[in-house]
Amino acid sequence: METPVRWTSAGTTARAVTSAVTATDRALQPAIDDEEIAAADAFDLPGADLSGEEVAVQILPAQADEFTCASCFLVRHRSQIALENDGVLHCVDCRG
């Protein structure tokens, strides 16, 4: 069922006014550059909520020349060993 035609005080229909306003709005909108949108999407703003994002990281096993610090739990090169107590290794940054 078609909506009834409403007339304005100037003698034009509401439908004609609505279509004229919509056409004017489209004409006033700036042209959207898809390349700019794609470039802007590539940047993460500081403080942005990234909880819905998935991160793909390749996990590598520990290498022969690496150790995991027992204090900071970072994987370090063996040249960074500062302290060893009963097989527990600590890096030079955590020594103090």
Q: Could you tell me whether strands 88-91 and 81-85 are parallel, antiparallel, or unpaired per DSSP bridges?
A: antiparallel
C-alpha to C-alpha distance for 14 and 26, rounded to whole angstroms: 18
Q: Specify the higher pLDDT residue, 62 or 2.
A: 62
Using a pLDDT cut of 70, give the percent of the chain over it. 66
Q: Which of 52, 54, 84, 58 is nearest to 71 (CA)?
A: 84
Instruction: Check if the beta carbon of residue 75 is closer than 8 Å to that of residue 87.
Output: no
Residue ranges of domains in the chain: 21-44+57-91
Q: What pLDDT, on the 0 to 100 scale, is given for residue 90?
A: 95
Question: Model confidence at 14, in pLDDT bands (50, 70, 90)?
Answer: low
Mean pLDDT of the chain: 79
Full-model pTM: 0.42
**Is residue 71 pLDDT above 70, yes or no?**
yes
